[in-house]
Amino acid sequence: MRKARTIGIGMDYSSTSKIALKWAIDNLIDEALIPLDEFKQINVSKYYGLNPDKEVLDMLEPVSKHKKVTVVSKVYWGDAREKLCDAAENLKLDSLVIGSRGLGVLKR
């Protein structure tokens, strides 16, 4: 029996983070066990001051059902560079997928 992988995806609802999410769905998720239902609840979003992106939720819903994945969220506040590193360490992630912000090689 294979060990379940834990995959983190840095999400700021930008177009590049959505591309990173789609890539992770298509390439990293099989039948792993990774709860979306709570995140979609209005009271949870209001409590954390979030505005979940409908397009992202629409991408995650079929993955949850068809690929037998349980999707969870963890909200971090602060500098994204630091918080992504914190997430990788604290959540013991096997993979972390992030978008490239659309910058070319020279501007990066």
Q: Is residue 73 part of a domain?
A: yes
pLDDT at res. 82: 92
Q: Is residue 53 part of a domain?
A: yes
Q: Is residue 1 part of a domain?
A: no
pLDDT in tens, 7-55: 788 888 888 888 888 888 888 765 553 367 777 777 777 877 878 788 8
CA–centroid distance for 67 within its chain? 16
Region of 92 on the Ramachandran plot (φ > 0 left; ψ -120 to 50 alpha; else beta): left
Give this prediction's pTM. Answer: 0.55
Evaluate if residue 1 carries a pLDDT over 60.
Answer: no
Q: Which domain holds residue 57?
A: 7-97
Q: How many domains does the chain have?
A: 1
Q: Is residue 103 part of a domain?
A: no
Average pLDDT of the residues of the chain? 78
Evaluate if residue 100 carries a pLDDT over 70.
Answer: yes
Q: Is residue 49 part of a domain?
A: yes
